[in-house]
Amino acid sequence: MQEPTLYRKEKKSLAYVIAIMNMILHGIEAPNIIHTNTLAENLADVQEKDRFDIIVANPPFGGKERKEVQQNFPIRTGETAFLFLQHFIKILKAGSRAGVVIKNTFLSNTDNASVSLRQKLLEECNLHTVLDCPGGTFIGAGVKTVVLFFEKGAPTRKVWFYQLDPGRNMGKTNPLNDADLAEFIALQKTKADSPKSWSVDVAAIDPKTFDLSVKNPNGGEEIAHRSPAEIMEEISRGDAECAEILERIKALL
């Protein structure tokens, strides 16, 4: 009898049903998938037999979990993606690896849960690579994302960052392709420095915040952040222009 080799964990069942249909349409045997409701599982109950060799995941962003769900995790937070990340760290076997998509604000959020989770990740796993993705890479995410590549079992000593820049706007009709990732894959083998990549020693990271913000020191484009007053002024100008246009339209009716 064929043993299950592909396991799928999902918060809700709809994505599981869609995956089953997709596999059947592509001639893949659906019984190879085991589905469970991840966040309903208490991490304290995870046994060695429940652990995995490889995890590839894109947890949902922005979800808010009830307090009874948060009780299942050592770092309690309502953020769905942060609970999933704790789960992934727990169910990895020692020496095994993972690739997880998460919103880029995870790297710098100052709330207690974010700081504690970054510390946990750095101390329990080797976070060797962070892939910084441009907006629009993941359709419907609504935020910029990064991909965390890590191995469980040894603490992080150095993190290699790569700032992906395909040179075009990403979106549904212009998705990421293999060619866009060619340089990243080539440089990641040796974790080389380049105009788009650099390394950070964990010893240089603030032990109070464990801030892992993506800041390219090799000539990457610097983002000029506007003040709240400037933003409000621009909104006001836009409102005034809209009002003027509406008045012109009314005059033509």
Please tell me whether residues 137 and 249 are part of one structural domain. Answer: no
Q: Which domain holds residue 5?
A: 1-40
Amino acid letter, 186: A
Please tell me whether residues 17 and 118 are part of one structural domain. Answer: no
Residue 207 lies in a domain: yes
pLDDT tens per residue, range 180-206: 999 999 999 999 999 999 999 999 999
Beta bridge partners of 44: none
Average pLDDT score over residue span 143-165: 95
Nearest C-alpha neighbor of 73 from the set 90, 60, 56: 90
Confidence check: pLDDT of 33 > 70:
no
Q: Confirm if 126 and 94 have CB atoms less than 8 A apart.
A: no
Residue 66 lies in a domain: yes
Phi, psi dihedral angles at 100 (to 5 degrees)? -130, 130
Please tell me whether residues 8 and 130 are part of one structural domain. Answer: no
Please tell me whether residues 174 and 71 are part of one structural domain. Answer: yes
pLDDT value at residue 183: 96
Confidence check: pLDDT of 6 > 90:
no
Residue 48 lies in a domain: no
Please tell me whether residues 36 and 123 are part of one structural domain. Answer: no
Please tell me whether residues 167 and 185 are part of one structural domain. Answer: yes
How far apart (Å, rounded) are the C-alpha atoms in residues 85 and 82? 5
Please tell me whether residues 188 and 71 are part of one structural domain. Answer: yes
Residue 46 lies in a domain: no
Alpha-carbon 243 to chain mean position: 40
Please tell me whether residues 69 and 179 are part of one structural domain. Answer: yes
- Point out the least confidently predicted range of 42-46, 136-140, 172-176, 233-237: 233-237
Confidence check: pLDDT of 151 > 50:
yes
Q: How many domains does the chain have?
A: 3
How far apart (Å, rounded) are the C-alpha atoms in residues 233 and 226? 11
Confidence check: pLDDT of 245 > 60:
yes
Give residues with Cβ within 8 angstroms of 195, minimum separation 6: 218, 219, 220
Supply the angle between the helices 112-124 and 80-91 in degrees, to the nearest 10. 20
Q: How much is the mean pLDDT over the chain?
A: 82
Residue 47 lies in a domain: no
Nearest C-alpha neighbor of 51 from the set 97, 11, 102: 97
pLDDT value at residue 39: 82
Residue 217 lies in a domain: yes
pTM: 0.74
pLDDT value at residue 140: 67
Q: Count CB atoms within 10 A of the CB of residue 39.
A: 21
pLDDT value at residue 18: 64
Please tell me whether residues 25 and 107 are part of one structural domain. Answer: no
pLDDT tens per residue, range 216-226: 888 654 444 44
Residue 193 lies in a domain: yes
How far apart (Å, rounded) are the C-alpha atoms in residues 51 and 38? 13
How far apart (Å, rounded) are the C-alpha atoms in residues 75 and 121? 12
Please tell me whether residues 92 and 162 are part of one structural domain. Answer: yes
Band of residue 27 on the pLDDT scale cut at 50, 70, 90: low
Band of residue 103 on the pLDDT scale cut at 50, 70, 90: very high
pLDDT tens per residue, range 44-100: 888 998 899 999 998 887 777 788 888 889 999 989 899 999 999 999 999 999 999
Please tell me whether residues 90 and 17 are part of one structural domain. Answer: no
